[in-house]
Amino acid sequence: MAQVSEIKASARTRAGTGGAREVRRQAAVPGVIYGDGGAPENIALQSNELVNLMNRGRFLSTVIELDLDGAKTRVIPREVQLHPVNGKLVHVDFQRVSPGSRIRVSVPVRFVNEALSPGLKRGGVLNIVRHEVEVTCPSDAIPDAFEFSLDGLEIGRSIHISAIALPPGVKPTIQGRDFTVATVAGHRVEEEGATTGTPGAPTAEGAAPAAAEGAAAAPADAKAAAGAKAPAGKDAAGAKPAAAPAKGGDKGKK
């Protein structure tokens, strides 16, 4: 189960945009605490502590114990706002959680025993449908991750949420169906089949005889074309040129 992290915070006297800007100028991050029947509280937190906590991962599913000016309050982050240009923290919303209360969180999934999957050995690809599974659980018993085994998984087979036993008190928010978490697809096999060629297309061996036949037919076609032009022009081979008129033919008639 996830461990509770502790960070310090201080109350903010000024609310609104002006108060938030003043907090940021002091290298701090403005935030709000709400929920559990209490009034909202404006707070300020040290930026470096928040960044270090976020870098550990799973920030939005981590229970935090805020030391608010000496008074400790258990909260869970609900929304993080980042600057659209520089990516720095702008604002954080926290929800109060009392011991034993139930909360909604997203738990990451892991996959083990990839080497024992026959489908992956034959070139299949693991297609992760859900990187996280949203559940409701006790606030002091949030699972670190859900671990799914790929042992014996063939191409075309799927892993469903029922493949693991959920911890006591943990229930998926999706009820009434055994939803899919991941599948093994035969993507690489399909690509190999696509490169073998289209059925009915001429192969290289079939194309060579066709080219040879076309080359052999070329001289015959040329002779036929020459014979077809000979009668019209009388200039083809074997045809005699027309006789030129005799000079002085008009004088012989006299």
Domain spans of the chain, in order of start? 5-98, 104-194
Report the pLDDT value the prediction gives residue 195, as an integer from 0 to 100: 52
Q: Any idea which architecture 104-194 has in CATH?
A: Beta Complex (2.170)
pTM: 0.63
Query: Strand ranges (DSSP E) for 131-208?
Result: 132-138, 146-149, 158-160, 171-172, 180-185
Give the integer Cα–Cα distance in Å for 73 and 31.
14
The pLDDT score that the predictor gives to residue 166 is 94
Taking the alpha carbons at both ends of the chain, their separation in whole angstroms is 137
Give me the pLDDT at residue 233, please. 43
* Equal CATH topology for 5-98 and 104-194: no
The residues, any chain, with a CB within 8 Å of residue 123's CB and separated by 6 or more, are: 186, 188, 189, 192
The Cα 44–Cα 35 span in angstroms is 18
5-98: CATH topology: Ribosomal Protein L25; Chain P (2.40.240)
- What is the pLDDT, as a whole number, of residue 68? 87
**Ranges of the chain with pLDDT below 50:** 1, 188-191, 198-254
Q: Please state, in angstroms and rounded to a whole number, the distance separating the CA atoms of residues 142 and 154.
A: 32
